[in-house]
Amino acid sequence: MKKTTIRLADGRELIYYDTRDDAVRDAPDRRPLDPTVTTTEVRTDRLLGDTVAIASHRQGRTYHPPADQCPLCPSRPERGRLTEIPAADYEVAVFENRFPSLAGDLGRCEVVCFTADHDASFADLTEERAALVLDAWTDRTAALAAHPAVAQVYCFENRGQEIGVTLGHPHGQIYGYPFTTPRTEAMLRSAAGHHRDTGRNLFDDVLADERADGRRVVLAGDHWTAFVPYAAHWPYEVHLYPHRRVPDLRDLDAPARAEFPGLYLELLRRFDRIFGPGRPPTPYISGWHQAPFHHPDRAAFALHLELFTIRRTPGKLKFLAGSESGMSVFINDVPPEAAAERLREVAS
């Protein structure tokens, strides 16, 4: 992997990741950009203990531009197209978000462009390109681990307008939170309680139990297992665990890293086949759960990827209504065992 870092016209960092050592990415950003201004404030809900980022500057962010005005496509100066990516082509690019939810002393937000092809999706990538994205996620996790304001890193992708995506180009994001997220705190509390009661690691037991039961296993390799969780929140939800427990992406060994692209691409392609041929691409959220960097129970946490869709049947979405939004009690219309069976049926 070759890494090339440049600065955009307003001072933000952009990093190109290439599979070729001879790749040259030195095109300057010639846009007349004003410095980025953020208004982020982090507040704590006194009743729930949740942390909320108030970021009013994001109201002006780019919203569903036409394809010929996409800010994530390569720049084409000869056509008057200057974008967030100054190069005329690229493989994978990561840059600081122009409209970040978190910035400065309150963390960092980055955009990850998976391909220069505006009309592609992650599932269209080759295994080599998916491996390069994994390398980029890992490299950014390592860099943000040294950031004084970052306590935890979340690499994720939102796909589809139904999810809330405002840019159609295939991309994801990386959030460097200045705190341990509530979701992770809840998992760590459960893990601590399980260890007190049994002396064992909760994540290890969950993986072992799912592999032994088998009804919810979707696919498995030598180094990874994907399964629908026993109490899945979403209509189709899959968790992908490495067999060797590690706290974050930096600690994956070479065999696990080599096997991941093929398994992950197969999962994404199955998601697009859930609802039958000729259907629109399945909207989804996919994200890496990684251990907080400085948490006392960091070693007990298990890196894993969570992939889910809000589509429950053709033409119908799972909305978070009264029970889910008001009381955080999910009601799932699709039994996890049925979801797993369907995801096995649509194997390549």
**Which of the residues are catalytic?**
171
Cα first-last separation, the chain: 29
Show the beta-strand stretches assigned E in the chain: 2-7, 13-18, 41-44, 51-54, 92-96, 108-113, 152-159, 171-177, 217-220, 224-227, 236-242, 284-289, 304-309, 311-313, 316-317
Q: How far apart are CA 240 and CA 86, in angstroms?
A: 35
Give alpha helix (H) positions in 216-314: 254-271
Helix/strand/coil (H/E/C) assignment for every residue in 113-142: ECCCCCCCCHHHCCHHHHHHHHHHHHHHHH
Structure tokens at 208: 């072992």
Question: Exposed, middle or buried: residue 3 (CB in 10 Å: 0-12, 13-18, 19+)?
Answer: middle
Using DSSP's 3-state secondary structure scheme, residue 68 falls into: helix
Using DSSP's 3-state secondary structure scheme, residue 213 falls into: helix
CB atoms closer than 10 angstroms to residue 141:
23
Look at residues 172, 132, 177 and name the one whose alpha carbon lies nearest to residue 152: 177
Q: How far apart are CA 16 and CA 344, in angstroms?
A: 36
Look at residues 132, 133, 119 and name the one whose alpha carbon lies nearest to residue 168: 119
User: Dihedral (C-alpha) 224, 230, 235, 238: value to the nearest 10 degrees?
Assistant: -10
Q: How far apart are CA 185 and CA 204, in angstroms?
A: 18
Look at residues 41, 17, 61 and name the one whose alpha carbon lies nearest to residue 105: 41
Using DSSP's 3-state secondary structure scheme, residue 249 falls into: helix
CB atoms closer than 10 angstroms to residue 176:
25
